[in-house]
Amino acid sequence: MCGIFAAFRHTDVQEYRPHALQLSKRIRHRGPDWSGNVVENSTILVHERLAIVGLESGSQPIKSPCGKYTLCVNGEIYNHIQLREECSGYAFQSLSDCEPIIPLYLKYGIDAPKKLDGMFAWCLYDSNEDRILAARDPIGITTLYMGKSSKSPQTRFFASELKCLTDDCEEIIAFPPGHVYDSKTDQLIRYFNPQWLDPSYMPSTPINYINLRHSLEKSVRKRLMAEVPYGVLLSGGLDSSLIASIAARETERANAELDPVSYDSEEKHLAGIDAHGHLHTGGWSHLHSFAIGLPGAPDLLAARKVAKFIGSLHHEHNFTLQEGLDALDDVIYHLETYDVTTIRASTPMFLLSRKIKAQGVKMVLSGEGSDEIFGGYLYFAQAPSAKEFQSESVSRVKNLHLADCLRANKSTMAWGLEARVPFLDREFLDLCMELDPNEKMIKPEEGRIEKYVLRRAFDTKDEPGVKPYLPDDILWRQKEQFSDGVGYSWIDGLKDAAEEAISDEMLATSRPEWGDDQPTTKEAYWYRLKFDKFFPKNAAGTVMRWIPKADWGCHGDPSGRFAKIHEQHIDA
């Protein structure tokens, strides 16, 4: 992951260049390893680099050998070895996993993003045609914003974070996932359009547990492509525990005596073998896992058990309520949101990411996406039908870029730590979103708890000779949303602090500048005030509030503790 900033067709790009460099400096936390910029015609591209793959030769912006094409990328391309083979006639200048985007553009034009397997946001400038293309990965794992200015109407601005655009742009949007922007037409075009994205579509594929398991294992395997120390975020919940378990197996496998020559091209990149045939495990022979919580939190106890079971080197960190409250302003500045759910969950993740980076780690695996794919939030138990269950699941997946993906990306990148999310692998996502939603529904009377199909896929008790992935009480543990699992007193403490900061009169008085988006709780009001300290009014259009389905009779507070089927735990 890195940080990018671009201004296409600026009125006076040379005069603007010093300002552009200062704007890009605002996201240097995303790329502390190196900075680069290129000016071509009236366009400038700036890059802040976090080196994960191609450490010595992956600096950006990347220029083509002819000098006519310039590329800035924030992301990781997992199928870059196959793409290099497909574009073997191109004179590659580096081992960067991102460089194949240039020959893909030359070969496929605006269809180039369709060929990419990874998480990405990029801008490619064609000086021949004075044309820019910008693209974002199918789900929006990687953040990207686009802006326009009335002072320079022909200019289009792009940046990894909102804070780069607020000085110059009156109109700012979150660049939509699965789209490509083409300056030739000044249009955003959807390139990712699977059938399941249509909320009226009703899939009917029966579950194949072995296929589901193998697909997730493959997804984790390809995300271990790294030349730096890596680890896993381990909350002790189902999703992070499964990812950690698979990663531990794959790390052990990568450290075994394997012959890289025997791998085909796909297996090479899945095993973390680079273009020279070298195996990479980030320099560590064991998987490192990381957890955070208030002392005695449910997640800490569960994570400890998982780490012991899978044999990871476990790092457990505590934080205090006051430390969390003290971090709120920084969290909101980096997250660029005032959504209650996102801030509650992001604060512990933000604090943990700093600890992880201090331990020399630059990449972690995380479990985002599973709850949206499988309907794992406890309020899904109130879905009135399989059709509505599926529609809500699709809606949650579509909005991940404004919720959990935004949280995972910006909480970690605030400290130059990259988070990769195996559940949102395109192949795995397509497989799971095509499943008959009747298979996913929560039916306690039938013993089918939330994410039953995922749990069942990794329950190997009836498979002789197959090593268990997790202890049974973890594999079948009820979901705790991360902001709950770090300790129930975290959310309670936030509410108490908001109660002190916001009076009844303040909450009852509408603020005209907030329009129809008036907060309904003191906590939400408090966060909005903090957001407004950092960002102008026009930035609020990029924010989405995460709330359960009111028309299913769900509680208004997004905490899973308010779901009817939640089993209460007690903090130690």
The alpha carbon dihedral of 172, 178, 181, 186 has a sign of negative
State yes or no: 366 annotated in a binding site: yes
Residues paired with 28 in a beta bridge: none
Which tokens sit at 79? 């199928």
The answer to whether 128 touches 183, Cβ cutoff 8 Å, is: no
Query: In sequence order, which residues have a C-beta less than 8 Å from that of residue 412 and are 6 or more positions away?
Result: 349, 353, 364, 366, 418, 419
The structure tokens 């940080």 sit at 3
- Helical H runs in 223-279? 238-255, 265-270
Q: What DSSP string runs through 46-85?
A: EEEE--SSSTTT--SSEE-TTS-EEEEEEEEETTHHHHHH
- Alpha-carbon span 406 to 416, nearest angstrom: 15
The answer to whether 155 touches 8, Cβ cutoff 8 Å, is: yes
Q: Across the chain, how many H-helices and E-strands are there? A: 20, 17
State yes or no: 442 annotated in a binding site: no
- Alpha-carbon span 300 to 290, nearest angstrom: 10
CA–chain centroid gap for 101, Å, is: 21
Q: What residues act catalytically? A: 2
State yes or no: 75 annotated in a binding site: no
State yes or no: 502 annotated in a binding site: no
Strands 145-148 and 171-174: antiparallel
Residues paired with 232 in a beta bridge: 289, 365
State yes or no: 77 annotated in a binding site: no
CA angle 170, 175, 400 (to 5 degrees): 125
**Residues recorded for the chain:** 572
**3-state SS assignment for residue 337:** coil
What are the Cα distances from residue 194, in Å, to 374, 387, 429, 431? Answer: 17, 18, 10, 11
Q: What DSSP string runs through 93-145?
A: -S--SSTTHHHHHHHHGGGGGGG--EEEEEEEEETTTTEEEEEE-SS--S--E
Q: What's the N-to-C CA distance of the chain in angstroms?
A: 37
Q: Which residues are annotated as a binding site?
A: 97, 233, 292, 366-367
Q: Which residues are annotated as a binding site for L-glutamine?
A: 97
Q: Which residues are annotated as a binding site for ATP?
A: 233, 292, 366-367
